[in-house]
A and B are shown apart, each in its own frame.
Chain A
Amino acid sequence: NAGVMQNPRHLVRRRGQEARLRCSPVKGHSHVYWYRQLPEEGLKFMVYLQKENIIDESGMPKERFSAEFPKEGPSILRIQQVVRGDSAAYFCASSPGSSGRTEKLFFGSGTQLSVL
């Protein structure tokens, strides 16, 4: 009964490089959410995906950030040309499906991105 798996746990990048964060949801879950936790702030919603579809990306920065959740394989959060301000902990959560309520989300342990 593996929970939500995120990797890597820690990721160090230099400014201008690309960062790829992976999230494998709980087996059988088809909904994935990405959140970002900046230092001294709460978790901020970024994007909500179902298999092969982006449902809500209202929290995603307009540039350099993208997310996907393919039919097979993990969900990927991709950050191009990283800047120091991207340094944060990125959390992924999954749920079985949505009935219009966010009932129970299962969270991963997060990926700590550090941009040098």
Chain B
Amino acid sequence: AQSVSQHNHHVILSEAASLELGCNYSYGGTVNLFWYVQYPGQHLQLLLKYFSGDPLVKGIKGFEAEFIKSKFSFNLRKPSVQWSDTAEYFCVHGGSQGNLIFGKGTKLSVKP
């Protein structure tokens, strides 16, 4: 069965620290990969997506992700986090019928 695995349940960082959130997916077919973010009290927003091409994807708010096909990974990174990045982050793989397979999410807490 298709699955998405996020390595960390909760990450706590100080402002200006670098961030890397791990994500591995199991589906071996067409690649539709996303990172979504959910800020407290808000709906999910798309951070970035990857379908094909350059495996290093730039997203909004200084986030980027690297697709490594051989490792079935799509890790999210940010060089320097801010307090406003406190949120829950979801790695997502898109199925061929429009359904999405979500990871369990990683809560990021950034201390000011």
Residues from chain A with a CB closer than 8 A to the CB of B4 are 42
CA distance A45 to B43 in the complex (A): 16
Q: Are B43 and A48 within 8 A (Cβ)?
A: no
User: How many residues does chain A have at the interface if contact means C-beta atoms less than 8 Å apart?
Assistant: 30
CA distance A101 to B100 in the complex (A): 10
A31-B98, A56-B98 given; A40·B104 CB < 8 A: yes
Residues from chain A with a CB closer than 8 A to the CB of B43 are 3-4, 91, 107-110
Which of B11-19, B78-86, B88-96 contacts its partner? Answer: B88-96
10 more A-B residue pairs beyond the given contacts A43-B90, A102-B94, A103-B49, with a C-beta to C-beta distance below 8 A: A3-B43, A4-B43, A31-B98, A33-B98, A33-B99, A58-B99, A95-B98, A102-B98, A105-B100, A107-B43
Q: Are A42 and B90 within 8 A (Cβ)?
A: yes
Q: Are B101 and A45 within 8 A (Cβ)?
A: yes
Residue of B nearest to A102 (CB): B94
CA distance A45 to B96 in the complex (A): 13
Q: Are A42 and B95 within 8 A (Cβ)?
A: no
CA distance A41 to B42 in the complex (A): 18
Residues from chain B with a CB closer than 8 A to the CB of A43 are 44, 90, 100, 102
Which of A3, A44, A55 is B98 in contact with, Cβ under 8 Å?
A55
Residues from chain B with a CB closer than 8 A to the CB of A55 are 97-98
Q: Are B103 and A42 within 8 A (Cβ)?
A: yes
The 3 A-B residue pairs whose C-beta atoms are closest, nearest first, are: A42-B102, A102-B94, A107-B44
CA distance A58 to B96 in the complex (A): 13
A4-B43, A103-B49, A107-B44 given; A48·B98 CB < 8 A: yes
0 or 1 for each of A31-66: is its CB under 8 Å from B? (1 = yes)? 101010000111111001000000110110000000
10 residue pairs of the A-B complex, CB under 8 angstroms, read A40-B104, A55-B98, A58-B99, A91-B44, A102-B32, A102-B94, A102-B95, A107-B44, A109-B42, A110-B43
CA distance A3 to B95 in the complex (A): 24
CA distance A98 to B32 in the complex (A): 13
Residue of A nearest to B34 (CB): A102
Which chain A residues numbered 60 to 106 have a C-beta less than 8 Å away from chain B? 91, 93, 95, 98, 100-105
